[in-house]
Structure 1
Amino acid sequence: MAPLEVVGAGFGRTGTDSLRTALNILGYKTHHMKEFKENPDSNDPDRFYDAYKEEDRTKVDWDNIYRDYTAAVDWPTAAFWPDLHKKYPEAKIILTVRDEDSWYKSVKNTIASFQQNRAEQSVGKQVDTDDPNYKLRRMAEAVCLDGLFTDSNRFKDEEKVKQHFLDNIKKVKETIPENQLLVMKLGDGWEELCTFLKKDIPNQPYPNVNSTEQFQKYKTELEKGIQHRQS
């Protein structure tokens, strides 16, 4: 199904799951971090982890990695957008953004707390490197700013973490031609997205999913499933 037609360059917690849902409504098959749990047969975390660690990413087989998708948003894609832009120069780039203070707060209450909690629970335990949960965790921690969210000491430097967020926004805007880039803020709806993608506006509200509360519920269910498989 590759090549990708739409690439999301925005970090997680900027409305990426809502965007995934919207793109799927518009007819795309969209990759997102949740796909590793929802469609494990199409997503091997090791492929993404190896791509992240590859020094020469021109050697990465992106067509194979995203073979079942026509669009991709959220991490791990947010870590690869410069490489994907080079590989698929005709792809539309969507940069989801929000205020850096609210972004840090959202990450702190969701992704960072989840990754730090998992790291604390694994201290002193034997690691099964063949465990799919281990592989997913290793990949997710790496692609999210090279483990920044997992390291509680590094993450406490709020201004430095927020600067990573702002630097990514700046780099995207400086790299992608204006006619190929859509910057979406939280609360933006169908009109600009559909105009950008040349799609008809659906007769339904723009999706609003994966709030902090919803993420925490998802995290609880995920942790219960992991504990059940380990028991």
Structure 2
Amino acid sequence: MFLKNKNDKVFCIGRNKTGTTSLEKVLKEFGFKMGNQSEGEMLIAAYREHDWDKIVKFCKSAETFQDVPFSWPYTWLFLYKTYPNAKFILTIRNEEDWYRSITSFHSKLFAGGKRVPVKEDLINANYRYPGFIWDANRAVWKTPEDDIYNKELFIANYRRHNEDILHFFKDKPNFICLDVSKKGSYKLLADFLQKEALHEEFPHLNKTNND
């Protein structure tokens, strides 16, 4: 097994809706212990206050982590400072597809699938705690309150996240960038993690919600 030292970790640092559900399934199949997603999401206050120590402390609870706050900007930088030998996985997809996926997903969850959510929808959404989704939006996107899903700003945020990571990890052997929809990406991941491939390609989940 790849993880030989308690300080070795695998961090999934791609933004939400880039195939992270499929990636999580594969990592579990490989035998990795995943961090508790609900507990990770409750670190939103630590993220907002730049209390990286709380997030790093949470990393002691498992081997592999994905989703919030690991998918958010700059978390990866502080994880690398603490775990420079960890494996980092960036998942990506076409920007237009990503934006369409995240707005469609949020529309179904928070606005009855009828429109892109507005501020009041997120404030009233009862996920984790009432207002959690609004807090998350403010912590990460910082878009105008009367245009919270501003396409230009969302895509710029997404692009900057990926570009920062790709630049930082360039030529580092403990990093891989994957588009899970591309042929051969599953085998690349298996090789990267030194695991025996169990499938030919990624098993795609959440087809309706596009991961």
TM-score bucket (shorter structure): 0.7 to 0.9
CA 1:205–1:198: 2 relative to 1, 3 Å = same
Q: Does 1:13 align with 2:9?
A: no
Alignment equivalent of 2:195, drawn from 193, 196, 199: 199
Q: 1:168: which partner in 2?
A: 161
Letter in 1 for 2:97: S
Q: Could you tell me how far apart the structure 2 residues matched to 1:21 and 1:152 are?
A: 37
Q: Which moved more, 1:114-123 or 1:13-22?
A: 114-123
Aligned length: 197
Q: Could you tell me how far apart the structure 2 residues matched to 1:77 and 1:30 are?
A: 12
Q: Could you tell me how far apart the structure 2 residues matched to 1:14 and 1:184 are?
A: 9
TM-score (norm 1): 0.70
Between the aligned residues of both structures, percent identity stands at: 21
Q: Could you tell me how far apart the structure 1 residues matched to 2:59 and 2:131 are?
A: 18
Contact 1:16 1:96 in 2 (8 A): yes
Question: What's the offset of the Cα at 1:26?
Answer: 0.6
CA 1:16–1:166: 2 relative to 1, 3 Å = same
Question: What's the offset of the Cα at 1:200?
Answer: 1.0
TM-score (norm 2): 0.76
Question: What's the offset of the Cα at 1:141?
Answer: 3.4
Contact 2:34 2:62 in 1 (8 A): yes
Q: Could you tell me how far apart the structure 2 residues matched to 1:173 and 1:185 are?
A: 14
Question: What's the offset of the Cα at 1:61?
Answer: 3.4
Question: What's the offset of the Cα at 1:161?
Answer: 1.5
Q: Could you tell me how far apart the structure 1 residues matched to 2:187 and 2:22 are?
A: 15
Q: 2:114: which partner in 1?
A: none
| Structure 1 SS opposite 2:84 | coil
Q: 2:130: which partner in 1?
A: 134
CA 1:112–1:172: 2 relative to 1, 3 Å = farther
Cα deviations across residues 104-156 of structure 1 (Å, max 9, x unaligned)?
11111013663564853576x7x99xx9523754554355x2454x9561313
CA 1:135–1:160: 2 relative to 1, 3 Å = closer
Q: Could you tell me how far apart the structure 2 residues matched to 1:75 and 1:56 are?
A: 15
Letter in 1 for 2:180: L
Q: CA RMSD in A?
A: 3.3
Q: Does 1:85 align with 2:89?
A: no
Question: What's the offset of the Cα at 1:88?
Answer: 0.8
Question: What's the offset of the Cα at 1:94?
Answer: 0.7
Q: 1:111: which partner in 2?
A: 106
Contact 1:76 1:140 in 2 (8 A): no
Alignment equivalent of 2:54, drawn from 49, 54, 61: 61
* Structure ranking higher in helix proportion: 1
Q: Does 1:210 align with 2:206?
A: yes
Cα deviations across residues 63-105 of structure 1 (Å, max 9, x unaligned)?
4323332111222211211111111111111110011011111
CA 1:105–1:50: 2 relative to 1, 3 Å = same
Question: What's the offset of the Cα at 1:210?
Answer: 1.9
CA 1:213–1:107: 2 relative to 1, 3 Å = closer
Contact 2:9 2:87 in 1 (8 A): yes
| Structure 2 SS opposite 1:30 | coil
